[in-house]
Structure 1
Amino acid sequence: MDLVPGGSVLGRRRLSPLIASLASPRPSVCPRCAFPFTKCPYPSPYSANISLTSHAKKRDTYAQPVPKQTTTRAEEEERVEEEFMEDFEDEIMMDDTEDFEDDFEVEYVDLNVGDGAEGGGISLAGTWWDKEALLIAEEVSMLFDGDLKIYAFKTSTNLTIRLRIEKLSSKYGSPCMSDIEAFSTAYQSHLDEAELAGKIPKNISLEVSSPGVERVVRVPEELERFKDLPMYVKYSSINAETALTQENDGVFKLISFDLDLCQCTWGLADVRINRQQAGKGRPLSRKQREWQLQTPFESLSLVRLYSDC
């Protein structure tokens, strides 16, 4: 859900269009289909993913003034949390006379755990400078008392650093605009010092953003944190007939987990893809509501948040 950075230039940093849009009123009707946003079949542009990009290759002598903040930090953080939850609560309304499913299909690419992007983790390109860049990022994280933590870090051979941060004091780990800007500014300053010392090359581009709405859930560390949200789960099991391992997946809700037994108990999440099995426009059946699955932690190959409710 990353957005292509752009917008006005502030020194050596570029602010994404999403950051600019946070300051303007949200429209009540989608400009693409003329439906209210609660009925719109297209993905909402108002996601919890915020991005801030810094381009060291483009140096501007005259910086534009910083726009005045019209909201407090607490209000801004609350708004980010509300927008994050809207992506899970907004649902396409089913109508007996019109089926949006026939005209719209969500395109989804599987996340790779530890890919340095939405899958989290560290992914280094193997350059002579990327370990130093990672060390600097970890040092900057400590400047915020560990509240802003590195969720994903990725370097590229084209002198690009892509960094995703999460906020531990936020229930769902969503940093607000000012958090991302503060981290980006501090990190860029430390990169400049390392550049002068010859520890990293010149003209490195930096992109700092949030983890994304459909972020990977770390098992078991983050199960408690995200237990109230639907999750896409990919897991392996033993086929009783063939005794072979097979891959399975589904959209579940977490019922419970046991750290001693190292296992989870899941039920079907009340989301559209599961409701469709009961029939168009119908709620989950009694059999679906009572269905449960137990999985050992080691059988879970991917657990991520699921936003298409």
Structure 2
Amino acid sequence: MVRYQSLSALFRASRRLTSPATCFSVRQFSSSLLLPKTTPPRYFPFSSSISRFYSSSSSPSPSVRPPKSAGSNGDEEDTFEYKTTDDVEVIEDWEEEEDEEVESYLGDGGDGGGIVLRDVPWGEKVLSIAAEVLKQSEEELELFAFKTSPRGYIYVRLDKLSNEYGCPTMDKLEEFSREFKKRLDDAGAEKVIPEDLALEVSSPGAERLLRVPEDLPRFKEMPMTVSYVEETNSRKVVKTAVFLLESIDAESDNCVWKLADVKENRDPESKGRPLSRKQKDLRITLPFTDHKKINLYLD
């Protein structure tokens, strides 16, 4: 059976709980290092409660298997307690992604999407297992990002095409995680992959980087934070503004942007009044190659 960094599944809202583009994640571990809190329920727009599974064992050693009990059919069953809490602490020994402090880029296996296997010998196999699980799912889910670590960690980010923000529900992430874990267990028992792996399943959220021009039509109705290159006095400088996509000209490889009516674009002295007519009529045409970075805008 595949052993995880803990046999707990922590479902938590990501960094931006108050945003409509909330990103959920499911983590699988191999020892119970998380203690539930008894804080009163908190509510966030467009987020759901945080639930988790945790083992009754508190052994911190990842090499110790969880306690088992015999089921009615004679098979071994995990002895888990299933509880729900609205506030949990993330265990400290989980391997955060090594490039977390480095600026994201397209294809990095994280916020930039793409597949990064880091030359681990079992990477292609676990990727194919994930693809099989997605293929059999009835949901409109796709792999946004997939990354493996030499230390035995698997990071998966699932994109739901029919969702405005691309975020699957917590239940769907849990469902994928359960099936993926089961198949990893089977492959580990057959010695096809290592038995000591850790898994994190999440949604991209608003931090995702958007590809130009492929991803732009999908989010055309949403404000985007756009960093772009502009030539000023024979010098190229990088500027950032919040835009709405006006159009894409595939023949000339240009995007046409207009200012979004958000506080970042308003005159600080206007006391919250909307954009002026001049600002609303402003259009900026940028070649595809002059776009440095685009994210969904979080108010």
- Superposition TM-score, scaled by structure 2 size: 0.69
Output one character per residue of 1:89-108: Cα deviation in whole Å (capped at 9) or x when no partner.
xxxxxxxxxxxxxxxxxxx9
Report deviation, 1:290: 1.8
- 1:149, 1:260 → 2: CA distance? 29
Which residue number corresponds to residue 135 of structure 2? 142
Runs of 5+ consecutive residues of structure 2 not aligned to the other structure: 1-5, 31-61, 69-78, 85-100
Most deviating of 53-62 and 155-164: 53-62
Q: CA 1:161–1:263 in 2, change beyond 3 Å: closer, same or farther?
A: same
Secondary structure, in 3 states, of the residue corresponding to 2:80? coil
Output one character per residue of 1:253-283: Cα deviation in whole Å (capped at 9) or x when no partner.
1111123332210011111111145644333
Report deviation, 1:145: 5.4
Kindly report which structure 2 residues correspond to 1:226-265, keeping only aligned pairs within 5 A, or say none. Answer: 226-239=219-232, 241-242=233-234, 245-265=236-256
- 1:268, 1:198 → 2: CA distance? 56
- Superposition TM-score, scaled by structure 1 size: 0.67
Q: CA 1:44–1:168 in 2, change beyond 3 Å: closer, same or farther?
A: closer
Which residue number corresponds to residue 12 of structure 1? 7
Asked if 1:266 corresponds to 2:262, the answer is: no
Report deviation, 1:173: 1.7
Report deviation, 1:148: 1.3
Contact kept, 8 Å, 2:141 with 2:158, in 1: the verdict is yes
Report deviation, 1:47: 5.6
Give the partner amino acid of 1:59: P
- 1:276, 1:291 → 2: CA distance? 15
Kindly report which structure 2 residues correspond to 1:269-284, keeping only aligned pairs within 5 A, or say none. Answer: 269-276=260-267, 279-284=270-275
Give the partner amino acid of 1:292: R
Give the partner amino acid of 1:298: T
Give the partner amino acid of 2:149: S
Contact kept, 8 Å, 1:136 with 1:190, in 2: the verdict is yes
What percentage of aligned pairs have identical amino acids?
A: 38
Output one character per residue of 1:262-308: Cα deviation in whole Å (capped at 9) or x when no partner.
22100111111111456443332333222211112222222110112
Q: CA 1:306–1:238 in 2, change beyond 3 Å: closer, same or farther?
A: same
Which structure carries more strand by proportion?
2
Contact kept, 8 Å, 1:124 with 1:154, in 2: the verdict is yes
Secondary structure, in 3 states, of the residue corresponding to 1:54? strand
Report deviation, 1:204: 0.5
Asked if 1:158 corresponds to 2:151, the answer is: yes
Runs of 5+ consecutive residues of structure 1 not aligned to the other structure: 1-10, 20-41, 68-107
Give the partner amino acid of 1:261: S
Contact kept, 8 Å, 2:206 with 2:295, in 1: the verdict is no
Secondary structure, in 3 states, of the residue corresponding to 2:218? coil
Report deviation, 1:181: 1.0
Q: CA 1:119–1:136 in 2, change beyond 3 Å: closer, same or farther?
A: same
Secondary structure, in 3 states, of the residue corresponding to 1:16? strand
Which residue number corresponds to residue 291 of structure 1? 282
Contact kept, 8 Å, 1:254 with 1:265, in 2: the verdict is yes
Give the partner amino acid of 1:236: V
Equivalent position to 2:80, from 44, 63, 67 = 63
Report deviation, 1:192: 1.3
Give the partner amino acid of 1:184: S
Most deviating of 216-225 and 45-54: 45-54
- 1:46, 1:220 → 2: CA distance? 24
Q: CA 1:43–1:145 in 2, change beyond 3 Å: closer, same or farther?
A: closer
Q: CA 1:48–1:129 in 2, change beyond 3 Å: closer, same or farther?
A: same
Contact kept, 8 Å, 1:235 with 1:299, in 2: the verdict is yes
